[in-house]
Amino acid sequence: MPGTLRLTTYRADIGSVTPPAISVTELFVGSDGASPDAEADLRPVTGRSLAGTATRRRQKVLEWVVILAVGLCVAVVVRTSVLQAFYIPSESMVPTFEINDRVVVDKISYRVGDVHRGSIVVFERPTRSAGAIKDLVKRVIAVGGDTVEARNGVVYVNDSAVSEPYLRAPASTQNLAKTTIPNHFLWVMGDNRMNSADSRVFGPIPVGSVVGRVMLRAWPPTRVGFP
């Protein structure tokens, strides 16, 4: 009938209806399918987590301290036992080395091998040689058991003339009477034969006084190279 509102009443028996189960995840996160791992984002920052962060930072600092200490120790060992830099204080090795050149010295090779003729070595100043400089640099001309002499400007080792292209022409060596080098000793001379106090002055040097072999001219940049 037009204008008439009809209401229909339905009766529901809710006594037997069991409420749906709610999981712990749904309780805290919701039932929208989020992963339970998302709960971690909701956990409050506690004193324990702050302490853990501080501990990790201290560990990182300690690691860097140890790394720096090890690096420093390695540098000291390398400097004292393997390589060392020296400067040239005089002109006794001109033209091979100029005054104030810096050279790198290998300090280990002669501990495991022999010194060879022609090598440039740094050695402790002999006690019979006056001077304030502790270490000297010269070229090895003869080794233990060799004979060395100079005549007419030419050096002879074991009666054979020595080729010395490292000398600046017209360099020559003053006459030197034949000398036999004792075992475990070296005869050394500077490349600037006219201005070098060497074995011609203080005699042969003991092998044990050798600090090392000059392996590199490191300064100035325009003269970097192997002698």
Options 107, 138, 196, 199, the catalytic residue: 138
The number of domains in the chain is 2
Residue 216 CA to residue 83 CA, distance in Å, equals: 11
In a domain, 14, yes or no: no
Contact between 124 and 211 under an 8 Å Cβ cutoff? The reply is yes
User: What are 144-159's pLDDT values in tens digits?
Assistant: 999 999 999 999 999 9
User: What are 37-78's pLDDT values in tens digits?
Assistant: 444 444 555 555 666 777 777 777 776 666 665 555 445 445
Residue 85 CA to residue 216 CA, distance in Å, equals: 9
Closest to 88 measured CA to CA, from 122, 56, 48, 47: 122
* Same-domain check for residues 218 and 116: yes
What is the pTM assigned to this prediction?
0.65
* Same-domain check for residues 140 and 70: no
* Residue 107 bears catalytic tag: no
Residues recorded for the chain: 227
The amino acid at residue 204 is P
CATH number, domain at 193? 2.10.109.10
Q: In this predicted structure, what is the pLDDT of residue 27? A: 35
Its domain, for residue 62, covers: 36-82
In a domain, 185, yes or no: yes
Average pLDDT of the residues of the chain = 79
Options 92, 119, 196, 199, the catalytic residue: 92
* Residue 109 bears catalytic tag: no
* Same-domain check for residues 93 and 177: yes
Does 2 or 57 have the greater pLDDT score?
Answer: 57
Strand partners, 176: 150
Residue 112 CA to residue 92 CA, distance in Å, equals: 29
